[in-house]
Structure 1
Amino acid sequence: MACLGGNDRGVSALHREIASCTICAEFLADGPRPVVQFSSTAKLLIIGQAPGSRVHATGVPWDDDSGNRLREWMGLSKEQMYDPARVALVPMGFCYPGKASGGDKPPRKECAPQWHGQVLAQLPRDRLTLLVGTYAQGYYLPKTRSMSLTQRVESFEQFLPHILPLPHPAWRSRIWMQKNPWFEAAVLPVLRQYIDKLVK
């Protein structure tokens, strides 16, 4: 897996360093505003893609309809998800990348190599990582790049107990779930069992 190393430093110091990051500022039309949540005790790590415009405005990760759907999948309340002692929220790109035709731009590629290893080094080793969407899965499961997202999610058991791939919970996921009823029947119960053990 990529970027699992990193310097051993305090969580607070690393938060401050990330907050002042301007490594890709010239490419961000709305300017840098890194959005991330982590602590040294969070045993659930959620790696998504990048903040949207609403999250950029509020500074709160997953503060949108996709976040509501993800919490529903996990069976978590907002209070539980936004407790950094229990849950780390680390997108592939920490800043809103801006708009493109048909949606947002992809996460900036500078971010994960620069910061992920340092953040992950602060987390407990006995954690579960949810890889939400194709960007996170492509980065952390490079040997599965020939597989589709559906194939990776359907093969979720081969990645447990440390990793569980999920589709991105955007509005299109409702259509995807209708076409793939096994996700709700087989994957979500296992996901919630892990969440119950690690977070609740």
Structure 2
Amino acid sequence: MSKTARILIAGQAPGARVHESGRPFTDTSGDRLRDWLGVDEPTFYDAGKFAILPMGFCFPGYNAAGSDLPPPAICAKTWRARAMDAMGQVNLTLLIGGYAQKYHLKSTNVTDTVMAWRDHAPSIIPLPHPSWRNTSWIKKHPWFETDLLPYLRQRVAQELT
């Protein structure tokens, strides 16, 4: 994090591969997210431009079905407010997935929250998680690519200039 970053990416928690890399979004989800934002890797990883603050810093493990466990709630309760206070002027917060949306907006349904993105813009934009698992969700909701993504890219570009 940096006091100069104007865009906050509030994610979930790293997956196993990302946890091992020690760098957030170093997987296909990161590739998709950078495409959604319209930025390249050097820009995305410039801490002076983007702050990346997940709901949990470590990989939480797998459940019995082999899916990632949610970030432990104790993580955000312990340090999130202090981390947010340590940042400077964040003008745009991107809420990636349900856990970040629930924490920041008290929402419980990703589809409803993302559909209502205009209610939170221009300072907050809720997004589905960019995982390949959400490809069918994206196909079922064409407005995401036709309406939300162009606005998202415009807002990101505005904050980067």
Q: So what's the TM-score if we normalise by structure 2?
A: 0.95
Provide, for residues 29-52 of structure 1, a one-character-per-residue CA deviation record: whole Å limited to 9, x for no partner: xxxxxxxxx111110000111011
> 1:158 corresponds to which letter in structure 2?
D
Number of the residue aligned with 1:31: none
| Structure 1, gaps ≥5 residues long | 1-37
SS in 2 for 1:103: coil
- Structure-2 separation of matches of 1:125 and 1:162: 12
Task: Identify the structure with the greater helix proportion.
Answer: 2
1:165 aligned residue (120, 126, 144): 126
> 2:104 corresponds to which letter in structure 1?
Y
- Structure-2 separation of matches of 1:173 and 1:104: 14
- Structure-1 separation of matches of 2:160 and 2:19: 26
SS in 2 for 1:46: strand
* 1:49 maps to 2:7: no
* 1:67 maps to 2:30: yes
* 1:183 maps to 2:147: no
Number of the residue aligned with 1:139: 103
- Structure-2 separation of matches of 1:173 and 1:76: 21
Number of the residue aligned with 2:158: 197
Number of the residue aligned with 1:116: 80
Provide, for residues 129-184 of structure 1, a one-character-per-residue CA deviation record: whole Å limited to 9, x for no partner: 00010101011111x33xx2111111101101211100001112211111100000
Provide, for residues 66-95 of structure 1, a one-character-per-residue CA deviation record: whole Å limited to 9, x for no partner: 111111111111101100000001111111
> 1:106 corresponds to which letter in structure 2?
P
* 1:127 maps to 2:91: yes
Tell me the matched-pair count.
Answer: 160
What is the CA-CA distance between 1:65 and the residue it aligns to? 0.8
* 1:79 maps to 2:45: no
| Structure 2, gaps ≥5 residues long | none
The sequence identity of aligned pairs, in percent, is 45
- Structure-2 separation of matches of 1:73 and 1:180: 15
SS in 1 for 2:86: coil
User: Any conservation in 1 of the 2:8–2:90 contact (CA below 8 Å)?
Assistant: no
Number of the residue aligned with 2:56: 93
Larger-Rg structure: 1
What is the CA-CA distance between 1:120 and the residue it aligns to? 1.1
SS in 1 for 2:73: coil
> Over aligned residues, Cα RMSD in angstroms?
1.2
What is the CA-CA distance between 1:124 and the residue it aligns to? 2.7
User: Any conservation in 2 of the 1:80–1:199 contact (CA below 8 Å)?
Assistant: no
- Structure-2 separation of matches of 1:170 and 1:157: 23
